[in-house]
């Protein structure tokens, strides 16, 4: 009898073990499938473009999809500290690519102060000089920090990444002899997945015409509209070639130049571009995962 009980207990133990093993296996399978489901649903890295409200001037801080960063221009002198703080508050300690589109004070004035507390990687400027205190001081500061200035011109690839896949290219300046400084503006195109963001500095008709002639693909989903919305920029052919869904104009409230000009606004509206303005919307943040585009503004109009 005792032997039979022992046998029964043994059989029961075996059955329980097999059951437990099976349960464990299905638990592992469950955990495994859950983990891979979680892996698959990880959000795609984002390209985030902060069109900063710097009054009458220009400054855009960009977080690239692989974590690298870029600062295009830094407004007038008094805006520099605020730009630096904005970047630091995002948890960024470094600007990998610093671009001064052209040496006008509403673009480079605040640069020295903006980068004061930040590490800087590469610096790009067009090959043109300005006989101003602001420009000389910026060059001196960059020199003191051991930073060499690379020439910004059409055809230069600033950055690329295979995973996530994106590229940063310069589309202008195409030439090296312009009447005004604005047409020397470095024009930046970022392509990420199926979307593209274009930053045109203060490029005017001469540069826009050259970009059109160069055969470069100018089409973009998002555009930083040229020269604060001046009618000297945004010629009809250029606007049509860009064909952006979203456009941002960086300008100050009641500025002395009457920016943005009605003619330029009309050309973009005719092309179906939804416009945002830093004088009305404050800072505008446009981001993308490579397919969808999100727009966030500091203020509603
Ligand atoms: Zn400007």
Question: Whole-model pTM?
Answer: 0.86
Q: Please indicate whether residue 115 or residue 300 has the higher confidence score (pLDDT).
A: 115
Instruction: Give the pLDDT confidence score for residue 175 in this predicted structure.
Output: 97
Report the chain's mean pLDDT, rounded to a whole number.
90
Instruction: Give the pLDDT confidence score for residue 27 in this predicted structure.
Output: 41
Cα-to-centroid distance, 203 and ligand 1 (Å): 9
Task: Give which of 208, 301, 225 is closest to 268, Cα–Cα.
Answer: 225
Instruction: Give the pLDDT confidence score for residue 82 in this predicted structure.
Output: 98
Cα-to-centroid distance, 37 and ligand 1 (Å): 48
Listed range (20-24, 239-243, 244-248) with the worst mean pLDDT: 20-24
Listed range (1-10, 25-34, 61-70, 80-89) with the worst mean pLDDT: 25-34
Cα-to-centroid distance, 169 and ligand 1 (Å): 21
Q: If you search the block for the tokens 């100050």, which residue do you land on? A: 252
Cα-to-centroid distance, 215 and ligand 1 (Å): 26
Q: If you search the block for the tokens 């101003």, which residue do you land on? A: 132
Contact 193, 165 (CB under 8 A): yes
Q: What are phi and psi of 128, to 5 degrees?
A: -155, 145
Tell me what the mean pLDDT of segment 253-277 comes to.
97
Alpha carbon distance 295, 288 (integer Å): 9
Cα-to-centroid distance, 64 and ligand 1 (Å): 24
Q: If you search the block for the tokens 């020199």, which residue do you land on? A: 143
Residue 21 pLDDT greater than 80, yes or no: no
Q: Burial level of 42, CB count in 10 A (0-12/13-18/19+)?
A: exposed
| Percentage with pLDDT > 70 across the chain | 87
Residue 53 pLDDT greater than 60, yes or no: yes
Tell me what the mean pLDDT of segment 198-220 comes to.
98
pLDDT tens for 55-64 read: 999 999 999 9
Cα-to-centroid distance, 186 and ligand 1 (Å): 12
Contact 208, 225 (CB under 8 A): no
Residue 14 pLDDT greater than 80, yes or no: no
Residue 42: pLDDT band with limits 50, 70, 90: confident
Level-2 CATH architecture, domain 47-297: 4-Layer Sandwich (3.60)
Tell me what the mean pLDDT of segment 147-154 comes to.
98
Residue 163 pLDDT greater than 70, yes or no: yes
* Residue 251 backbone class (left: φ over 0; alpha: ψ -120 to 50; beta: rest): beta
Q: If you search the block for the tokens 């610096």, which residue do you land on? A: 123
DSSP letter assigned to residue 299:
S
Residue 32: pLDDT band with limits 50, 70, 90: very low
Cα-to-centroid distance, 75 and ligand 1 (Å): 8
Tell me what the mean pLDDT of segment 192-197 comes to.
98
Alpha carbon distance 111, 105 (integer Å): 10
Boundaries of every domain in the chain: 1-42, 47-297
Residue 28: pLDDT band with limits 50, 70, 90: very low
Residue 87 pLDDT greater than 50, yes or no: yes
The H-or-E segment that residue 100 falls in is none
């Amino acid at each position: 009898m005792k032997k039979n009980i022992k046998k029964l207990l043994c059989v029961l133990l075996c059955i329980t073990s097999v059951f437990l093993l099976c349960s464990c296996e299905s638990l592992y399978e469950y955990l495994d499938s859950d983990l891979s489901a979680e892996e698959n649903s990880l959000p795609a890295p984002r390209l985030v473009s902060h069109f900063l409200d710097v009054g009458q001037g220009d400054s855009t801080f960009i977080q690239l999809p692989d974590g690298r960063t870029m600062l295009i221009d830094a407004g007038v002198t008094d805006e520099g500290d605020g730009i630096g703080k904005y970047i630091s508050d995002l948890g960024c300690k470094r600007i990998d690519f610093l671009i001064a589109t052209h040496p006008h004070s509403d673009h480079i004035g605040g640069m020295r102060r903006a980068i004061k507390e930040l590490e800087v990687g590469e610096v790009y400027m067009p090959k043109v000089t300005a006989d101003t205190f602001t420009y000389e001081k910026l060059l001196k500061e960059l020199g003191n920090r051991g930073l060499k200035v690379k020439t910004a011109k059409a055809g230069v690839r600033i950055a690329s990444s295979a995973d996530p896949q994106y590229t940063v290219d310069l589309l202008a300046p195409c030439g090296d002899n312009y009447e005004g400084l604005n047409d020397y503006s470095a024009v930046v195109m970022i392509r990420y997945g199926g979307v593209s963001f274009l930053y045109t500095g203060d490029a005017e008709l001469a540069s826009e015409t050259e970009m059109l002639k160069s055969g470069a693909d100018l089409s973009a989903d998002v555009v930083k509209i040229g020269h604060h919305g001046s009618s000297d920029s945004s010629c009809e052919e250029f606007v049509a070639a860009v064909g952006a869904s979203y456009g941002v104009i960086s300008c100050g409230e009641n500025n002395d130049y009457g920016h943005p000009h009605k003619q330029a606004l009309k050309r973009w509206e005719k092309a179906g571009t939804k416009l945002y303005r830093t004088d009305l919307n404050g800072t505008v943040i446009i981001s993308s995962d490579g397919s969808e585009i999100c727009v966030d503004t500091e203020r509603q109009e």
